[in-house]
Amino acid sequence: MIKKALLIIGLIIALLIAGCAKTPTGNKEQKESLKMPDQITVQAPIAPATAPLLKMAGQGLTSGVKINLIIYKTVEEATTRVIRNEADFTIIPVNMAAKLYNNKVDISLADVNTWGILYLISTENGINKWDDLKGKDLYVGARGSTPDVLTRYFLHKNGISENDLKITYLESPEIAKMMISGLAKNAVLPEPMVTQVLLKSNKARLVKDFYENWQAVEGKNTGLPQAGMIVRNSFANSYPSLLASFQQAYASALDETVKNPAGSASLVQTSLQIPAPVFVQSIKRTHLKFVEGEKAKNDVEIYLTRLLELSPEMVGGKLPDEKFFLKI
């Protein structure tokens, strides 16, 4: 009996020792899982808010982490990468971010950076207000994109049915070329394409500034949160310090871009094929500002509520809950 008892005690001690021996190994594995990655993947569109990322991609972050920057051409391309977890950060229309979140994609809104870059432009003298578009052809960016979403909102607010005019959906670069060549007379375009059209067509003129229109309807202190940066929650949870470092670097670079657009104009011309003089001039009509996701919550909820009232599918059928807004 004594031998048997000693044997059992010995087994228990051996197990305890083995368990203790495994503890450091577990800690080591945990530390390794939190080790900084060699690089992060960021995707962004051909748009003003991407300009700061070009310089950041060339320099990397202060921690030594490199930035793999992917310039996407369509929102569908971007959302596919997000769903597949192939991008850590993505600049995307705010309504599409909400739609992804509402469809159980594990992302958060890290910041809003684009607060108004859309304009209604025309080469027709008789087009001065929304009502003048009745019976006309209007060219707008791809269906479901921000230009489409906001155009339909303003038409609705001015009592104009989509049946009162003919809306043709094309990619914005193609629309800009058509405006310059005279094939399109009325269009909704973002900067810097607006500046490009105005410089190359002596007939083209600004009719409506979407930013001013939004504030006229929603209040002068209400922002127009068109696009922002989303982050994979698994990345945010694993690398909180890297997330904060990236956010700070982007906020600083965005502010510098607004203050000194000439400083990044050559990079924009090379990487985004936007002529440097066009980019510099376009910043005057571009509302860029870094606002953390949680601090942009009020403006974002107003924006998404209006879109939800107009067409639920624009935001994924409902307002996202508060977990949608990243807290740092």
Question: Which domains, from first to last, does the chain contain?
Answer: 39-115+225-324 (3.40.190.10), 118-218 (3.40.190.10)
DSSP 49: G
**CA separation (Å) from 39 to 178, 254, 310, 315?**
40, 21, 41, 31
- Separation of alpha carbons 94 and 106, rounded Å: 15
Strands (E), the chain: 39-45, 66-72, 89-93, 107-114, 118-122, 137-140, 166-169, 186-190, 205-209, 227-232, 288-292
With H, G, I as helix, E, B as strand and everything else as coil, classify residue 327. coil
Rounded CA separation 93/147 (Å)? 10
Give backbone dihedrals phi and psi of 229, rounded to 5 degrees, phi first.
Answer: -105, 125
Task: Report pTM.
Answer: 0.86
Question: Where does residue 110 fall: left (phi above 0), alpha (psi -120 to 50 degrees), or beta otherwise?
Answer: alpha
3-state helix, strand, coil in the chain (%, to 5): 55, 20, 30
The tens-digit pLDDT sequence of the chain (328 residues) is: 433 433 433 433 333 333 433 333 333 333 334 688 999 999 999 999 999 999 999 999 988 999 999 999 889 999 999 999 999 999 999 999 999 999 999 999 999 999 999 999 999 999 999 999 999 999 999 887 889 989 999 999 999 998 999 999 999 999 999 999 999 999 999 999 999 999 999 999 999 999 999 999 999 999 999 999 999 999 999 999 999 999 999 999 999 999 999 999 999 999 999 999 999 999 999 999 999 999 999 999 999 999 999 889 999 999 999 999 998 7
